[in-house]
Amino acid sequence: MRTIQYELQDGIATLTFDEPGSPVNTMCRQWQEDLTEAVQQVVKDRDAIRGVVLASAKSTFFAGADLKGTMRLQPDDAPQVFREIEQVKKNFRTLETLGKPVVACLNGAALGGGWEVALAAHRRIAVDHPKIQFGLPEITLGLIPGASGITKMTRLLGLMGAQPYILESRLFPPREGLELGLVHELVPDAAALRPAALAWIAANPQAQQPWDAKDYRMPGGTPANPKIAGMLAVAPAALRQKTRGLYPAPEAALAAMVEGALVDFDTALRIETRYLARLIVSPVAKNMINTFFFQMNAIKGGQSRPKWEGRYQPKKVGILGAGMMGAGIAHAQASRGIATVLKDVTIDKAEAGKACSLKITQARVDKGRMSAQEQAALLARITPTESAKDLAGCDLIIEAVFENRELKAKVTKEAEGLLAPDGFFASNTSTLPITGLAKASAQPRKFVGIHFFSPVDKMKLVEIIRGQATDDETVARAFDYVQAIGKIPIVVNDARGFFTSRVFGTFVMEGAAMVGEGLPAAVVEQAGLQAGMPVGPLAVLDETALSLSVHVLDQTRADFRAEGQTYIATPGELLVERMVKEFDRNGRAAGGGFYEYPAEKGAKKFLWPELKTLFGKPDAAWDMRDLKDRLLYRQSIETARCLAEGVLTSAHDANIGSIFGIGFPGWTGGAMQFIYGTGIDAFLHRAEVLASRYGPGFVVAPQVKDAVRRFAPRY
């Protein structure tokens, strides 16, 4: 056996998982074959065995499925997958029903299939460390737990109790597992695992799983229980409202839970397998695995970080501007232990910025997620000030003032000289090219864009923008800083709107263009929601401010004029300009935009009735598929253009950036993966159709087609 070491000594059969050439253990095909062989050996040695120990030679227990193998599956592989999963379960059941005690020694993380391996044991003993994680994250990858995880967790926790751990993929540390009854014993370190396992085996010569006991009852009751039945009656509708029918995995998991709870254990296992075999070969699963596993790990592993040997650990960081963005950045830093100087033109404004952290942390204190001592320590790290002198010695200063070149240049010149000798300067701009802003810097090579998203405390993505003069060390330091504050960094090259703002603009302006074509605004918003965007394009425009979009448009026109060119505004931009300049509809903060925002407490926003009068066309016809495709294809094509132009340099930055920065639907795997999941040829054909109907925004130029093919993933 290549992935499992089998040893029988003093009546204890030990199966040690140790996949060669891999940092973790996975359910690769070789492991599946080895498990069958190992279990057959256990059966042969049954009379000589007092107990079985499942252990790992890795630093973690077991990582789960072989996802690279999963990416290579085709739809016609489903029957084979079904047979393979059933064989794994057969092996688990053989161990469970052998009549001998089986103990899993959990020295580290056990996730997905790894947790299902642990569930095959009668007793789970874990090292007591808060950073170790157990659980079933499959839903986040477009899959379901299919190697008995759904069936067993439902029978251990009940239909209601298991839902967060299956449908929401909630992970848990060993101590929480102990409280739930999923882990039976904690030990201080890995060396104590085997002695504890042997002691339990000696005290329990016979063992069985709870669901195999004659007196077993499902916690909380089965679907036949009127109370459970009442909750389950609304559960599918609530789930569909959340997924909008775009994510098949949660619905399959709920179905497997409920159907499995109505039948015997072995039948429940087969139901679970059928659902997984269908899902595992689906496009959505491949899209989500590609991006949320492989490409997210690529970013976490620093594939976009320049090769600078040093490692930057921020100690004192200054923020210029204590408005919403500056205050949010200050909070993000302070929550990670970084001393923060928050400067504004007056001490009152700086104090107001710090008060935002008080508001955020107080909500956590009230919910028991943070202690008062932790809150006090966090707030103590933020020094509000109106004096530039307090910035002295900062190893990084980030300006987060209004999107105005002259203002940004002024604060850059005022603060840059106060940096520590090896410090660097960053601009939190969302649209203004970094190379132009760096002209105000005495050291353009140490000037970089660090673009946060609002609200900073909730948005995970940060876009790092390299100017023409920015050196590798500065980009690497910015990358390290973003990771140090617990955010996800992507790296892009300088251009107008960079990547995220540029692509975001195509989404909202395509929605605005639809309104200009006479379509009902409610239909436009619904198209965005049905496509999987978190909110409709008109609602997003209101939140980000129509006036800001017009400000950017005016600045773009001015920049083009300065270069001797003329900027041709899109139909959507022209409509938004009319909304602001003709009808004084500036966005939510200004009192109203595409929506009205009633002042009464609890009153819901509603679309501005005048939209129908001003722009509606009674004879306007639409095709919902076209509308959804316009919103998704427009963003994907613009993303591909960014790759072709060198603004983006990797597909993983494109996909992660589009999902976590602008809300591109997770089921697609991101703006580039949407192309690959659709099929390049099929996507390009559909783009041609859309271009013929809706204009040049959908034209895919030859160099863009080349980029699409060049960056295609290979597994």
What confidence score (pLDDT) does residue 403 get? 83
Buried b (16+ CB within 10 A) or exposed e, 382-405: bbbbeebebbeebbbbbbbbeeeb
At 230 the pLDDT is 86
pLDDT of residue 398: 98
Which of 51-65, 433-447, 555-569, 684-698 shows the lowest per-residue confidence on average (mean pLDDT)?
555-569
Is 559 strand, coil or helix?
A: helix
What are the tens digits of pLDDT across the range 408-419?
Answer: 999 999 999 999
Tokens for 673, please give them: 């993966």
**pLDDT value of residue 496:** 85
For residue 150, which of 284, 225, 251, 40 has the smallest C-alpha distance?
Answer: 251
Predicted local distance difference test score (pLDDT) of residue 232: 86
Q: State percent of the chain over pLDDT 90.
A: 92
pLDDT for position 63: 94
Task: Please give the average per-residue pLDDT across 528-534, as a whole number.
Answer: 97
State mean pLDDT over 542-558.
92
CA 439 remoteness from chain centre: 36
432 vs 409: CA distance, rounded Å: 12
- 430, pLDDT greater than 90: no
pTM: 0.91
Instruction: Tell me the C-alpha distance between 94 and 85, whole Å.
Output: 14
Q: What are the Cα distances from residue 365, in Å, to 329, 335, 357, 457?
A: 20, 14, 12, 16
Q: How far apart are CA 463 and CA 653, in angstroms?
A: 9
Domains of the chain: 4-281 (3.90.226.10), 316-495 (3.40.50.720), 501-710 (1.10.1040.50)
Task: Give residue 24's pLDDT band: very low, low, confident or very high (50, 70, 90).
Answer: very high
Percent of the chain clearing pLDDT 70 (strictly above): 100
- The first and second tokens of residue 51, run together, are 């107990």
SS (H, E, C) 165-224: HHCCCCCECHHHHHHHCCCCEEECCHHHHHHHHHHHHHHCCCCCCHHHCCCCCCCCCCCC
Distance CA(111)–CA(293), nearest Å, equals 13
Measure the CA–CA gap between 659 and 580, rounded to whole angstroms.
Answer: 29
Strand (E) positions, 576-638?
Answer: 595-596, 606-607
Residue 470 pLDDT greater than 80, yes or no: yes
Here the tokens at position 345 are 């033109």
pLDDT per position as a tens digit, 187-228: 999 999 999 999 999 999 999 999 999 999 999 999 988 888
What b/e string do you get for 467-488 counting C-beta neighbours within 10 Å, with b at 16 or more?
A: bebbbebbbbbbbbbbbbbebb
Q: Is 181 left (phi over 0), alpha (psi -120 to 50) or beta?
A: left
Helices marked H in 416-545 — which ranges? 434-437, 472-484, 500-516, 521-531, 537-544
Q: Round to whole Å and give the CA distance between 276 and 257.
A: 13
State yes or no: pLDDT of 268 exceeds 90: yes
- Please, which pLDDT band fits residue 550 given cuts at 50, 70 and 90? very high
277, 85 in Cβ contact below 8 A? Answer: yes
